[in-house]
Every structure is written in C-alpha cells, then in structure tokens.
Structure 1
Amino acid sequence: MRKLICASFLVLAGCVSTTTTQSPSPQPSQPQAQSAQSKATTPTAAQVSRFKTVVSRVEPVAERMCRQQTSNLNCDFKVVIDDRPQKSPNAFQTIDKSGRPILAFNLPMIAQVRNDDELAFVMGHEAAHHIERHLDQQRNNAMAGAIILGGLAALTGASSGNVDAAADLGANVGARSYSKNHELEADALGTVITRYAGYNPVRGAEFFTQIPDPGDRFLGTHPPNKSRIETVRRVNAGL
C-alpha cells in the first residue's frame, strides 16, 4: 500500500543509514553561501516529482518480495520525507510503534541523488534491511554483547559503574559485529528490487562514488565502497 507523507519525522527505533558528507570548500560571501546551501539541501519540484515516481515503482516490488521471502513480517512499507533541518543527505529504515516498516529520506538526499537509478537503488537497499530483519539482528547482537562484557566485568568484582560501562561497550561492539555483512546483504537484495522495479542497479550503485569510502576499518559499520559496487555488479549479472 503506497503512502507518501512529508512531515517532521521522529525515529522510533534503531536505523541503518546511508549518509553522505560534503567536502569542505572555500567559504563564499554570505549571500552566496546561503544560496549554495539552499540548492544543496532543498529539492526542486521536479526532484520531488521524480521521488514520487520512483516510490510508485519501487515500493510495490519491495512489498511483493517481502511477502514472498518472509513470514510474520509487516511488509506494508510507508515512505516518508524527513523534513527536519539537515545538511547531509541521509536515508534510513526503521519501524513505527505498531511495527510498520518506514523508509525515510531527508530533503538533501532527494535533492542530491543524480538520477532515478540512484534513488531507486537507495530505496531498494533500505527496504532490503527490513526484509532481511537486520534491525532485529542488530538489537539481538547488542543485547548479547552487553550481557557478555557486563557479565565478565561483574565476575571480576568491578564496580557497578564499570560494569555498566562494560555493558555499554559490549552493546556497541555487538551491534557493529555484523553491520558490514548486513550492508552487503542489503546491497544484494536491493539490487534485485531495483532491477525488478525497472531501474539499473549498476548505475544506481554509482551513488557510492559520491560518498566517503569507509575503507575496511575494524568494527566499522559499512564495508568499502568498492566491495559494495562489486556486490551489485555480481548480483545484477546473475539476474
């Protein structure tokens, strides 16, 4: 069921995001700076129209695949525009209080994606996080990490403050432990969703060339951009 709303959006659960940052540049005069920021963060009427068109094509495919591949999972996606003031493009998946999956895009993201394929791929990627139940897995990993490190600290006779700190650290490590795999899984399924919606996922994955490369950092949350693009190409070649 398609529903597109534009309103200030409160994140009600943990999210997995695709975020870009802008490279620093020389500061122009104040009037020019305000104009440049406005162009970078506010979509045009044509870009909003493009967004609605992509939603109308990608969302039904995502819902159909969700119902085919899962059971006892709410597949009634709601796409929202997060209109809170933000400078960096961002898209994320979360759920509302009733368990309904939310795909949220902020205004800079809608304004700065370069074409329909990139927008469709980002949308398919975020929908895939829900279909793969990544939020549940992330939450369970965080709980397990908190129990393990918190328990070990308690066994050593640590103070209650140190036990709490150890539990927090364990939750953070646990939540990050499989995040790179989750991103690659979402890229793979997102490729299928994008392709079946009639868009080019390989062209869409060129979105990764616009964002900073996280490299292969220990406990990093996202895999290297090269690995993500290779995943898209491999999955697309097999369709």
Structure 2
Amino acid sequence: MNNTVVYNKVIWITGASGGIGEALANKLAAAGAILILSARRETELTRVRDSLVNAQQHLLLPLDITDTAAVAAALATIKQQIGRLDWLINNAGISQRSLIMDTTLETERKLFEVDYFAQINLTRQALPLLLADDGGKVVFVSSVAGLVGTQYRGSYSAAKAALHLWANSLRAELFDQGLQVATIFPGFVNTDVSRNALTGDGSALGKMDNAQANAMSADKFAEKAVKALTKDKNYIVIGGIKERLGAIVSRLSPNLLYKMVRNTKVR
C-alpha cells in the first residue's frame, strides 16, 4: 500500500463501530489518515477510536445514517471542526437472511432504507464538501450478492445492486469535477453481519453463518481494499474463489451464473 496517498487525508467512515469499518479505520489510521468515525453505538466508536494510531486526532460522530437531519448536522460539524473532506467511505449497512416468500414488505423497505436510500442521501449531502478542493473520493461498500443475487438475500442483493448502479451514474456525472467513485464488492467476510441480518419479520438472525465464520478476516479484507483504493481502482471484488468467479461469470454468462447460484448453498 502506498501510504502517501492517504497521509493527512480526511476520511469519513460510516459503520465504523466494528467489522469491516473498524478494520478499514485501523489500516487508514496507520497510513496517516485523519478519520471521522460514525455509527450508532458511541461506546463501540470510542473503543475503535482509542485503538487507533494518533487516536486523539480522529473525530467521533455518532450517527444514524437514516436520519436526514442528523446527517446534515454531522456534515456541519465536519465543516466547522475540520473544514474539509477528502474521502467518504459508505460502509454502514444491514444484511438479510430470509426467503422472498417469507419476507414482509416492511422488512424489504427497511433493507432499502439502510442499504440504498440512506447511502445516497448521505453522499449527496456530502458532495459540496468533497468537491470543494477540486474533487474527492466516494467509496461504496456493495456486495458480491449485488452482482449475482442469491437465495435468502433478495432485497439485500437488490439494494446493493441499486447502490452499484447509482455509483456508476455518479462517477459519470461528476468525473469532470474531479470526483473519484469506487465500489467494493465483498464476498464473505468474518464479521457479525449475519448475526445482525434481518429475517423475514424484521428481527435479527442472531447467529453466525458457517460461511461467515470460515471466511476471510476483516483485517485481510481491509488490507486488500485499501491497497486497491490507493491504486485508484474503482471496481473492486474481494472474496474467495467462488465469490470472485461468480462476479466474473455475472458479466460473461448470465445463464451460467443462474445455474451456479441455484446449485450453491448460501445459508
């Protein structure tokens, strides 16, 4: 990783209280970035901040990203206390573990609210600050599920796919203003994402999937992600062989992909 790319950059990470967000914070802080850490759990945010290199230079902004007024207030705080924003990493999100026939419309809407609408609203509100110094970088953490669509993740896959395509449009529209837009597509990563995933009635699954338990560590994921981001990659697939193969086949042979997905155990 080229540390000079992120040294002294102001980088805002949502969903920073654990998992991928915490691992990204560790890598970026070690490379000399100035971090803004957001999540709903202030106690966990404090724990993460205190574990970082140069802990006291990083700003804590507890935040529910679905609260539009709170997002506006957070941006006002960043502008007042720091005065600039170089990168925004949209990492906050929630997963799903329920079949389509078992999922209520209310649960579907909640998944889209967190994984799509909240992400694009926060990004849109942050754009003036990102563009103020001849452009910045926006990073969206989508999912391999958003490229292939799998069982038990119907609305999650759809929301992550929507985020990916919105990012493509954003990249095209603001390229001339210097904005870089990157989308990361994680496969299985060993975090609590499955414990917190929504079941059909909107309650949390409360346990870890086998695939999640045996997956790549969040630290290894973050290492690969930051390396790709510092090389200005904008389409970044990170996962095991099956996930990377699925991403490739999704672009080359949709019919083969559909057969692969049908025969893959994802739960």
More helix by share: 1
TM (normalized to structure 2)? 0.29
Q: Select the structure of larger CA radius of gyration.
A: 1
